[in-house]
Amino acid sequence: MARCTDRVALITGASRGIGRGIALKLAAEGADIVVNYYSHGQEAQQVAAAIERMGRRALVWQADVADREAVAEMIGAAVARWGHLDIAVANAALSIRSPVVEARWEDVLRTIQVSQFGVFHTCQIAAQHMVGQVGSGRPSKIVIISSILDDLCFPTSAPYTMSKAAINRLGQTMAAELAPYHINVNIVNPGWIDTPGERRFYTEQEIRERGQRIPWGRLGTPEDVAKAVAFLVSDDADYITGATLRIDGGFVLGLELAGSTKQTDP
C-alpha cells in the first residue's frame, strides 16, 4: 500500500541526483510533488513528466533556496494550489571545493548560503505552514538531507562540512521545538552517492574503482537514499524525530577498520 497517498511533498534540488530519486520515490508512494530546481530546468521537467505518468501531480518551480523570498513564494504557491504541505525535504546543496588558504570568499559564502541558509529557509517556512495545519489530521514531516561529512573532515570542503554540521544541529533543534505539534524532523546522512555532481570531481574509472573499496562494494544510489526518506515521511516513522540516519554502505565503518591495528590472539 502506498505510504504517502494524497500528501503534498516539496523536494528542493529535485531535478537531479538524490533529489530526483526522492521525488520519484515519494510520487510512487502516492504523493504530489513540488519539483524545485535552480539551474537544470529541462531535467526538472523530465522528473515532472515521470511523476505525472505515475498518476500523480507535479509542480515545477525554479527557485534559489538561498533566496528566502523565493522559497516563501514557492511554498506559498504549493499551498495555494493544493491546500496544504505535508512533507518538506531540504535536499538542495552546493559544494565549491578549495583548500581553506586558497578559498575565494565569494565561493565560501555561496556554498554556505545554499547548503546551510537554504536549508534553514526551507525548513522554517515549511514548518510555519505545518504548524498552521495542526488539527487538520494531516501528518507533517521534515527531512534534512545532510552528509557523513557532518562527522568527517574532508580536505577542500570546509564550507560544505561547516554547513552540514550546522544543518544537523538545526534538525535536532527543530525536532525538539516541533515535537509538541507532532511534526517529525529527521536527518539523513548519505555517504558517497553516485550522482551527476560527482563527475565534477572524479572520472568514471575513479568512481568505479573507489566505490569498490567501500565495504558494501559500490557507491550508493539516489534510490538508496530515497527509500529511507520514504520510510521517514511515512506513518511507520510516526514516533521517530530528531534522529540521524546514516546511509553509506559502511563507508565510515570502513575508515574505522582501515585505521585499526590487527589484534593477535593472546
User: Which of these is catalytic: 160, 181, 202, 239?
Assistant: 160
Residue 239: active-site member:
no
Alpha helices in 118-217, H assignment, sequence order: 118-132, 158-178, 204-211
DSSP string of 156-168, one letter each residue = T-HHHHHHHHHHH
**C-alpha cell, 125:** 517556512
What's the CA gap between 168 and 155, in Å, rounded? 20
Kindly list the distances between the CA atom of residue 82 and the CA atoms of 10, 34, 90, 233, in Å, as whole numbers in the listed order.
12, 10, 20, 18
Long-range own/partner contacts, residues 195-198 (CB < 8 A, 24 or more apart): 195/16, 195/17, 195/18, 195/222, 196/16, 196/17, 197/16, 197/17, 197/95
Is residue 112 within 8 A of residue 96, CB to CB? The reply is no
Q: Which amino acid is at 168?
A: N
DSSP string, 131-145: HHTTTSS--EEEEEE
Q: Three-class SS of residue 180?
A: helix
Coil, helix or strand at residue 245? strand
Judge whether 35 and 56 are in contact, CB under 8 Å.
no
Active site residues: 160
